[in-house]
Amino acid sequence: MTVTQDNQTLPLFYRELTPLNSDAHRALRVRTTDKASWMANQHAVPITTEEFAKAQRSFPIIFSSADEAVPLALMGLNEGSNVYVGGDGSINSEMYVPAYARRYPFLLARLQPGEDTLSLCLDPTSDLVGEFDDGEPLFDGTEPSERCKSILNFCEQFEIAALQTTAFVDLLVEHDLLTEGEFTIQPDGDGPPSTYRGFKMVTDEKLNALSAKALATLNKSGALRLIHLHQASLGVVSDIYTLQSRAA
């Protein structure tokens, strides 16, 4: 069974999804690459809470404006703009690459709505998997290869981190901490300021309005540290603005 964008909404980056199995994919190999063409022109990528400490040095960490907010690494101030990844997929060497992007073209997915079991799937349209002469095999006969086991383990760890991230966002919602965000940047010279909206953030005002008991709860859970990392990361937006202006 192959899922396409025509019959189901797929996660970011994925154009098709098909379950990995030894019968259909016994000859498949996976390549490594120093480029990430799937990230080119993508201005925001989902990120997990366990990545906040590393990611906040590279990107502003914001939250999507959807009803079910998701933490995002902001890589450009406009849709279609990524100041860290070139059009050919070349990556800024100082950039932290989110795990969401590193797992591509694989992921764990439910084959049927409501299923509890997650199956390892791949995007067959990716040029990282195929019946190549080079690369590492995904199967050793009918058994998963060591490379395949490593990919599965990475995807499993990502799912655990994603659940922890959802729990963190649920805490933010419970304490009414998420609010509509805004970046206002004054360019060099006498030009008018640029304002960017369409995301959520945690403001000092919201945080300071919490009771001592609520703050203690957030601190004990580790959420307060994550909030501070999120807030500290917002200063990086000026770097993105500078890089984007130079590219323009």
pLDDT in tens, the chain (248 residues): 344 444 458 999 999 999 999 998 999 999 999 999 999 999 999 999 999 999 999 999 999 998 899 999 999 999 999 999 999 999 988 899 999 999 999 999 987 777 778 999 999 999 999 999 999 999 999 999 999 999 999 999 999 999 999 999 999 999 999 999 999 887 776 778 888 999 999 999 999 999 999 999 999 999 999 999 999 999 999 999 888 888 76
The answer to whether the peptide bond before residue 105 is cis (omega within 30 degrees of 0) is yes
**143, β-bridge pairs:** 140
Q: Where are the domains of the chain?
A: 3-247
User: What is the DSSP-derived secondary structure letter of residue 51?
Assistant: G
Largest CA distance in the chain: 67
Q: Measuring CA to CA, how many Å separate 163 from each of 12, 156, 169?
A: 18, 11, 10
| Cβ count near 210 (within 10 Å) | 16
Measured in degrees and rounded to the nearest 5, phi and psi for residue 62 equal -120, 180
| Cβ count near 53 (within 10 Å) | 13
